[in-house]
């Protein structure tokens, strides 16, 4: 099939064709609505492409006299690996040191959602979140750690069920000052009774 023809097909038609190519009968009772369901799921799982960062953050920047570390940790995320379209999922831990402004805490997980709801690799996801936070808030520094499990490693390929991947992005003071990095890592690893 020529590429031009694919561009003229609707997603549900492509999914129906995929089912046929896999040897399935798309008219079978359990599969009749599958193309519509898969299209809906993929639209949600890739909704980050259509997200507007400014609208997501909604002017939730506030001038404040505070220059200590702010951390939001254990932010759940789910994404699709751009290589196999299989899920990877895990947690992000994000810190920044304000210069003159802070961002509303709920906006940080929303930022993770914007970048995780795309075809992605974990390394880029980590970097995208860090660079955007740095650009928008203009803090003294940003640290992001993502830890995830990848179905492309668990279900196929090496088939390692208990392996995980960790990535980090350290900008500004987090990159330049070992003690800042160490404080971030210690606080991320700290588990209190209230959380």
pLDDT at position 101, please? 95
| Burial of 159 (C-beta count, 10 Å sphere; 0-12/13-18/19+) | exposed
Question: Using N-to-C axis directions, what is the helix angle for 122-137 and 107-116, rounded to 10°?
Answer: 140
Residues marked active site are found at 81-84, 122, 150, 152
The set of residues, in sequence order, having a beta carbon less than 8 Å from that of 117 and lying 6+ positions away, is: 44, 45, 46, 47, 48, 49, 51, 79
Mean pLDDT over all residues of the chain? 92
44: alpha, beta or left, given left = phi > 0 and alpha = psi -120 to 50?
alpha
pLDDT at position 34, please? 96
Q: For residue range 181-191, what is the model confidence (pLDDT) as tens digits?
A: 999 999 998 87
pLDDT at position 77, please? 98
CA distance from start to end of the chain: 53
Pair 101, 62: CB distance under 8 Å: yes
pLDDT at position 150, please? 85
pLDDT at position 25, please? 97
Residue with the two structure tokens 């920044």: 96
In angstroms, rounded to a whole number, what is the distance separating the alpha carbons of residues 108 and 77?
A: 12
pLDDT at position 153, please? 80
Q: Given a cut of 60, is residue 143 above it in pLDDT?
A: yes
CA-based nearest residue to 184, from 72, 64, 67: 72
Q: For residue range 18-44, what is the model confidence (pLDDT) as tens digits?
A: 999 999 999 999 999 999 999 999 999
pLDDT at position 1, please? 57
Region 39-68: mean pLDDT is 94
Tell me which of 5-9, 89-93, 153-157, 180-184 is least confident: 5-9
């Amino acid at each position: 099939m020529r590429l031009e023809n694919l561009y003229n097909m609707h997603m549900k038609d492509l999914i129906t064709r995929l089912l046929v190519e896999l040897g399935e009968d798309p008219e079978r009772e359990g599969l009749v609505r599958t193309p519509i369901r898969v299209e809906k799921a993929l639209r949600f799982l890739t909704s980050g492409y259509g997200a507007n960062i400014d609208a997501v953050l909604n002017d939730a920047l506030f001038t404040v006299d505070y220059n200590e570390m702010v951390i939001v940790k254990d932010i759940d995320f789910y994404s699709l690996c751009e290589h196999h379209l299989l899920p990877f999922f895990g947690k992000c831990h994000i810190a920044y040191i304000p210069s003159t402004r802070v961002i509303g805490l709920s906006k940080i997980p929303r930022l993770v959602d914007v970048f995780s709801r795309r075809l992605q690799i974990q390394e880029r996801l980590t970097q995208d979140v860090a660079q955007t936070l740095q650009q928008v808030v203009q803090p003294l520094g940003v640290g992001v750690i993502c830890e995830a499990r990848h179905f492309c490693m668990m279900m196929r390929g090496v088939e390692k069920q208990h392996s995980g991947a960790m990535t980090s992005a350290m900008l500004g003071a987090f990159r330049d000052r070992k003690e800042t990095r160490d404080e971030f890592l210690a606080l991320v690893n700290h588990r209190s009774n209230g959380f």
